[in-house]
């Protein structure tokens, strides 16, 4: 590339980056506009209520001897996409010393979801569930319904920034005293590890468990830590400041029982203009069951938006007398990494949140009578601006090397998808906001002159 071309390219890039800065300043307006658009179109992005139909005071429900019931729960309106559904028990009323039942979400659609319960041993007078439905790419829900093996498990998670979490224990069957907790033992940008503790070697009395792991970003989950109760008193919480556009929830994580205990407990909520607090007490005159729970706020609207990389330095070199010893047209690497990306198809790359910028080096074979062009994409959706540079290959050089600096616009893990084919190198960024979006950053295309 000649010096005047470089200067012209850098000038255009500076002008476009200035336009991007202006776009960031109106980002909040766009967020509010998106929410308004959903309202106009009739879609909702969140919903919640309490489900009480699995209880003997409602429609003659009493669960024992293989009794089962399936119930559809409708949302107040339609979601654009299938939402995630979270269950938080609000009441357990199980009067028997042993119990065995299954509970699971059978299906979820844009308009409703379906719950099913089946009891095989003991009696379930009732279970109440507060349910939350949310359509947000920053929230991930991992379901584990009716499991009967309690070894440590590792699960993949898709959003590297969703490293805040809570566990909601939604069902348990047992044949004697139990003492356990379902807890996260490790979480990284791609994995979450779940273990079930057994401090008093009573895990053999646990018949089955159902729980959910909910992962989210820091701004969406604000936990106040694990609280543990005793067997002598009802639990009365401290006061928690109210938080706008958020749900106050109290998921269970574990239980400890004694011979005289029964699984009969309920939550009572209190609030005033400033605070929220709660009580966990017995159903009837039964015992106080020792348990662990974690109060937290879960936001259903976030104003923090992930934005794509912007371009920094760009260098393009035409190479001669080089050995192009790679099979396909392109190979690439991120500066600082040892391995090259050479396989055709998609390759996922996670960029650490501490990396302020990265340099992506792309090598392209340049055969005679080929044209190699690089096309930069600036902005998103309808505000995309393109800049393209083309290079005609001849006998004087065999390879073009592109060095492109990508600069982070927010301190967070970034996900890149690199797609290689014989004719094209393409790089796309995945953004997890309320909606998941794919933003093409740039592409290099090789075409033959006929």
337-395 pLDDT, tens digit each: 989 999 999 999 999 999 999 999 999 988 888 899 999 998 766 678 889 999 988 87
Give the model's pLDDT for residue 7.
47
The mean pLDDT of 189-201, rounded to a whole number, is 96
SS3 100: strand
Phi and psi at residue 243, to the nearest 5°: -130, 130
Q: Are residues 285 and 343 in the same domain?
A: no
Q: Which two tokens stand for residue 4?
A: 């005047």
pLDDT > 70? residue 26: no
Residue-range definition of the domain harbouring residue 18: 3-32+305-448
pLDDT > 50? residue 65: yes
The mean pLDDT of 413-419, rounded to a whole number, is 96
Give the model's pLDDT for residue 3.
47
What distance in Å separates the CA atoms of residue 269 and residue 33, rounded to the nearest whole number?
Answer: 34
Count: domains in the chain: 2
* 178 neighbors 306 (Cβ within 8 angstroms): no
Q: Are residues 123 and 251 in the same domain?
A: yes
The mean pLDDT of 239-258, rounded to a whole number, is 96
271-323 pLDDT, tens digit each: 999 999 999 999 987 788 999 999 999 999 988 899 999 999 999 998 876 77
Q: Is residue 65 part of a domain?
A: yes
Q: Are residues 172 and 314 in the same domain?
A: no
Q: Which residue has the tokens 């290099």?
A: 444
**Final residue in a domain of this structure, among 299, 324, 344:** 299
SS3 3: helix
Give the model's pLDDT for residue 123.
94
pLDDT > 80? residue 36: no
Q: Are residues 84 and 173 in the same domain?
A: yes
Average pLDDT, the chain: 89
81-98 pLDDT, tens digit each: 999 999 999 999 999 999
**Final residue in a domain of this structure, among 279, 299, 319:** 299
Q: Are residues 199 and 342 in the same domain?
A: no
What distance in Å separates the CA atoms of residue 117 and residue 138, rounded to the nearest whole number?
Answer: 30
The mean pLDDT of 64-69, rounded to a whole number, is 92
* 269 neighbors 107 (Cβ within 8 angstroms): no
Alpha helices, DSSP H only, in 210-277? none
SS3 7: helix
The mean pLDDT of 196-201, rounded to a whole number, is 95
53-62, 136-145, 158-167, 198-207: which has the minimum mean pLDDT?
53-62
- Nearest to 414, CA basis, from 356, 352, 333: 352
Give 101's pLDDT tier (boundaries 50, 70, 90).
very high
227-244 pLDDT, tens digit each: 999 988 999 999 999 999
Q: Are residues 200 and 334 in the same domain?
A: no
pLDDT > 50? residue 30: no
Q: Is residue 147 part of a domain?
A: yes
Can you state the percent helix, strand and coil of the chain, rounding each to 5?
10, 55, 35
49-53, 260-264, 422-426: which has the minimum mean pLDDT?
260-264
Give the model's pLDDT for residue 384.
80
Half-sphere exposure of residue 99, counting CA atoms within 13 Å on the CB side? Answer: 27
Q: Is residue 383 part of a domain?
A: yes
Q: Is residue 51 part of a domain?
A: yes
Q: Is 245 exposed, middle or buried (0-12, 13-18, 19+ CB in 10 A)?
A: exposed
What distance in Å separates the CA atoms of residue 129 and residue 168, rounded to the nearest whole number?
Answer: 11
State which of 42-56, 100-114, 435-449 shows the largest mean pLDDT. Answer: 100-114
Give the model's pLDDT for residue 2.
45
Give the model's pLDDT for residue 10.
53
Q: Are residues 246 and 311 in the same domain?
A: no
Q: Are residues 337 and 365 in the same domain?
A: yes
Q: Which two tokens stand for residue 341?
A: 């990306």
- Number of C-beta neighbours around residue 106 at 10 A: 12
SS3 128: strand
Q: Are residues 241 and 157 in the same domain?
A: yes
pLDDT > 50? residue 29: no
**Final residue in a domain of this structure, among 233, 266, 299:** 299
Q: Is residue 272 part of a domain?
A: yes
Q: Is residue 333 part of a domain?
A: yes
- Nearest to 20, CA basis, from 418, 420, 305, 310: 310
Q: Is residue 38 part of a domain?
A: no
Q: pTM of the prediction?
A: 0.88
Percent of the chain with pLDDT over 90: 74
* DSSP assignment string, 140-172: EEEEEEEE---S-EEEE-S-TT--EEEEEEEEE
Q: Are residues 278 and 350 in the same domain?
A: no
Angle between helices 3-25 and 27-41 (to 10 degrees): 60
Give the model's pLDDT for residue 348.
94
Q: Is residue 41 part of a domain?
A: no
DSSP annotation of 292: E
Q: Are residues 172 and 71 in the same domain?
A: yes
Q: Are residues 372 and 429 in the same domain?
A: yes
- Strand bridging mode 263-271 / 227-228: unpaired
Give the model's pLDDT for residue 382.
63
């Amino acid at each position: 590339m000649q010096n005047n071309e470089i200067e012209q390219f850098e000038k255009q890039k500076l002008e476009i980056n200035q336009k991007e800065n202006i776009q960031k300043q109106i980002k909040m307006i766009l967020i509010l506009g998106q929410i308004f658009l959903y309202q106009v179109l009739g879609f909702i992005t969140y919903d919640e209520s309490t489900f009480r139909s699995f209880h003997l005071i409602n429609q003659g429900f009493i669960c024992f001897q293989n009794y089962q019931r399936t119930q559809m729960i409708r949302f107040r309106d339609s979601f654009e996409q299938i939402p995630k559904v979270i269950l938080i028990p609000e009441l357990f009323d199980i009067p028997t010393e042993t119990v065995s039942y299954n509970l699971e979400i059978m299906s979820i659609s844009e308009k409703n979801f379906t719950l099913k319960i089946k009891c095989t041993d003991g009696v379930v007078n009732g279970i109440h569930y507060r349910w939350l439905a949310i359509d947000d790419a920053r929230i991930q829900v991992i379901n584990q319904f009716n499991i009967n093996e309690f070894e440590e498990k590792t699960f993949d998670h898709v959003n590297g920034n969703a490293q805040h979490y809570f566990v909601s224990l939604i069902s348990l069957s047992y044949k004697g005293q139990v003492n356990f907790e379902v807890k996260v033992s490790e979480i990284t940008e791609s994995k979450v590890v779940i273990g079930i503790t057994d401090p008093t070697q009573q895990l053999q009395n646990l018949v089955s468990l159902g729980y959910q792991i909910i992962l989210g970003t820091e701004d969406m989950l604000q936990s106040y830590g694990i609280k543990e109760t005793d067997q002598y008193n009802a639990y009365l919480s401290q006061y928690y400041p109210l938080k706008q556009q958020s749900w106050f929830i109290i998921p269970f994580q574990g239980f400890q029982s004694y011979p005289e205990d029964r699984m009969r407990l309920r939550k009572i909520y209190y609030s005033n203009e400033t605070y929220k607090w709660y009580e966990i007490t017995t159903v009837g005159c039964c015992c106080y069951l020792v348990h662990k729970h974690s109060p937290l706020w879960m936001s259903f609207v976030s104003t923090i938006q992930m934005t794509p990389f912007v371009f920094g330095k760009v260098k393009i070199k035409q190479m001669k007398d080089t050995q192009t010893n790679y099979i396909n047209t392109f190979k690439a690497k991120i500066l600082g990494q040892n391995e090259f990306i050479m396989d055709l198809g998609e390759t996922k790359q996670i960029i650490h949140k501490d990396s302020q910028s990265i340099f992506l080096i792309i090598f392209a074979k340049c055969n005679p009578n080929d044209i190699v062009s690089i096309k930069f994409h600036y902005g998103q959706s309808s505000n995309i601006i393109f800049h393209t540079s083309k290079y005609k290959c001849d006998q004087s050089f065999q390879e073009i090397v592109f060095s492109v600096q990508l600069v982070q616009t927010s301190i967070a893990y970034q996900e890149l998808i690199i797609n290689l084919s014989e004719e094209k190198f393409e790089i796309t960024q995945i953004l997890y906001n309320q909606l998941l979006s794919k933003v093409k950053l740039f592409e290099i295309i090789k075409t033959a002159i006929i």
